[in-house]
């Protein structure tokens, strides 16, 4: 029998029900279309609607975890480790380091040194630690809104000031960085830290190398430290590839804290492991000092096991998942073509779609602050309202499409029925009280 920590024979212990690359008998559905009942597992997504003020029966496609089982190699590695039965303190060892560095070399042509890595329980805690390490209370920190809402929270919760540089949405629906606005924000705020979302959540941009090089030039000129959240890096859709910001140049590497994790791409959020890559000894020392100050030391044993297995044996599974997400995105766009007033913005990465509902607001007379209530109460969907992502988010909603096709179709059926009912009522009111409708539209 191989040694406990030898995962080379993981292929001998796989899930025969849904191996990678197969379809279900008699259908075109792949493993990612299997429906798994997550209720009763203390799932934040599925078991806590009432505690969070949502009605019973709501379909939850809000929080960013997937309704797919993990890659078979990860399950096998975890079973192997659990059977040992002892879960004492653990550290990253040579095998873990090799899996980590090989992953970034193989997937991104980025040569990472294992000594750069600091393990944390997650990327959001790492963002907060970075803010604490790099700022003093009252300092400004730049974010590019609309953006993942914990960016603003970790800044304000640590006594700093948000300096928001808005992204610019073009006529083609694609979001781009407004370089002049960014520089203006840097000059007026005096900020020395920028939180970068790469790929961007929620707008789905996988920033091109050229775009990141423009940002790197600004970072050098303004002496910025860039804290780059790259948790969605592995989820660039087919035809796109994430460029790690720190991989651009020696200067970029020296001023960057890169926050990575297998939690999104391999559905391991509950195992709480993130790899924070910091080439600069000075930045790494400051970061580690804050980590020590909160009392964190050895990482989660099973998290390390799962991460290593993902990076050693998860390539094929991940590539199939990316195809599944691309197909889901195309399916949503096709279905919403017949739903008046809701459009999918262009998406290059992540399994989170940014839906533009401004047309629906205009047609129905709903106000932006009423959108989420409509989606929740009338469509029966629990999504993330765009307003929580900051400036430019009103009138949008975010939906997680990392679910079986049947679940996604149920959500789209509910959304279409809700919109149809809303617009039917609006049309009836227009016929009955045309003067009232005119006042609503004027307002």
Task: Look up residue 32 and give its DSSP letter.
Answer: G
Strand partners, 235: none
| Whether residue 294 is found in the same domain as residue 422 | no
CA angle 396, 402, 407 (to 5 degrees): 90
352-356 vs 343-344, strand pairing mode: antiparallel
The range of the structural domain enclosing residue 374 comes to 50-70+315-428
Q: How far apart are CA 394 and CA 376, in angstroms?
A: 16
Element containing residue 305 per DSSP (H, E): helix 301-313
* Cβ-contact 329, 237 below 8 angstroms: yes
Name the nearest CA neighbour of 389 among 152, 125, 175.
152
| Whether residue 302 is found in the same domain as residue 369 | no
Confidence at residue 435, expressed as pLDDT on a 0 to 100 scale? 59
Confidence at residue 325, expressed as pLDDT on a 0 to 100 scale? 97
pLDDT tens track for 65-124: 999 999 999 999 999 999 999 999 999 999 999 999 999 999 999 999 999 999 999 999
pLDDT tens track for 306-360: 999 999 999 999 999 999 999 999 999 999 999 999 999 999 999 999 999 999 9
| Whether residue 322 is found in the same domain as residue 259 | no
Helix (H, G, I), strand (E, B) or coil at 133: helix
| Whether residue 307 is found in the same domain as residue 333 | no
Confidence at residue 5, expressed as pLDDT on a 0 to 100 scale? 44
Name the nearest CA neighbour of 29 among 238, 401, 324.
324
Task: Look up residue 51 and give its DSSP letter.
Answer: G
Examine residue 298 and state whether it is found in any structural domain, yes or no: yes
Task: Look up residue 262 and give its DSSP letter.
Answer: S
**Number of domains forming the structure of the chain:** 2
Confidence at residue 426, expressed as pLDDT on a 0 to 100 scale? 86
Examine residue 5 and state whether it is found in any structural domain, yes or no: no
| Whether residue 108 is found in the same domain as residue 204 | yes
Which are the contacts of 170, defined by CB distance < 8 A and separation ≥ 6? 176
Task: Say which CATH number the domain at 404 has.
Answer: 3.90.1150.10
pLDDT < 50 positions in the chain: 1-27
- In angstroms, the Cα distances linking 269 to 64, 101, 261, 307 are 9, 21, 9, 11
Does pTM surpass 0.85? yes
CA angle 342, 388, 192 (to 5 degrees): 125
Confidence at residue 432, expressed as pLDDT on a 0 to 100 scale? 77
Last residue of a domain, one of 266, 294, 313: 313
| Whether residue 244 is found in the same domain as residue 139 | yes
């Amino acid at each position: 029998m191989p040694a406990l920590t030898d995962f080379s024979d993981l292929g001998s212990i796989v899930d025969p029900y849904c191996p990678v690359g197969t379809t279900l008998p008699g259908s075109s559905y792949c493993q990612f279309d299997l429906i798994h009942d997550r209720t009763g597992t203390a799932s934040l997504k599925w078991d806590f609607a009432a505690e969070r003020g949502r009605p019973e029966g709501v379909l939850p496609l809000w929080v960013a975890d997937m309704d797919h089982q993990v890659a078979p190699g990860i399950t096998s590695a975890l079973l192997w480790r659990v059977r040992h039965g002892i879960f004492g303190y653990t550290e990253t060892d040579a095998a873990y380091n090799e899996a980590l560095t090989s992953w970034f070399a193989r997937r991104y042509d980025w040569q990472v040194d294992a000594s750069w890595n600091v393990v944390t329980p997650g990327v959001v805690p790492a963002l907060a630690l970075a803010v604490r390490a790099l700022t003093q209370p009252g300092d400004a920190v730049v974010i590019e809104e609309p953006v993942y809402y914990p960016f603003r929270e970790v800044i304000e919760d640590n006594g700093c000031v948000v300096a928001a540089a808005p992204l610019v949405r073009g006529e083609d629906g694609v979001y781009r960085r407004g370089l002049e606005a960014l520089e203006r924000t840097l000059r007026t705020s005096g900020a020395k830290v920028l939180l970068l979302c790469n790929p961007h959540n929620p707008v789905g941009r996988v920033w091109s190398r050229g775009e990141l090089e423009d940002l790197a030039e600004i970072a050098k000129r303004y002496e910025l430290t860039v804290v780059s959240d790259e948790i969605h890096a592995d989820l660039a859709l087919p035809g796109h590839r994430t460029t790690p910001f720190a991989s651009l140049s020696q200067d970029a590497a020296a001023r960057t804290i890169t926050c990575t994790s297998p939690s999104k791409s391999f559905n391991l959020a509950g195992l709480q492991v993130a790899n924070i890559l910091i080439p600069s000894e000075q930045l790494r020392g400051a970061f580690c000092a804050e980590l020590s100050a909160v009392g964190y030391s050895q990482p989660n044993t099973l998290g390390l096991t799962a991460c290593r297995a993902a990076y050693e044996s998860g390539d094929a599974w991940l590539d199939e998942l990316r195809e599944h997400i691309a197909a889901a995105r195309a399916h949503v766009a096709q279905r919403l073509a017949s739903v008046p007033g809701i459009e999918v913005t262009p998406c290059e990465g992540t399994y989170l779609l940014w839906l533009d509902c401004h047309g629906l607001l205009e047609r129905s007379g709903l106000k932006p602050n009423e959108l989420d209530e409509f989606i929740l109460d009338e469509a029966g969907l629990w999504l993330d309202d765009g307003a929580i992502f900051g400036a430019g988010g009103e009138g949008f909603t975010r939906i997680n499409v990392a679910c079986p096709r049947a679940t996604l179709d149920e959500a789209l059926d509910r959304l279409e029925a809700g919109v149809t009912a809303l617009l039917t009522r609006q049309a009836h009111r227009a016929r009955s009280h045309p003067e009232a409708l005119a006042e609503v539209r004027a307002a």
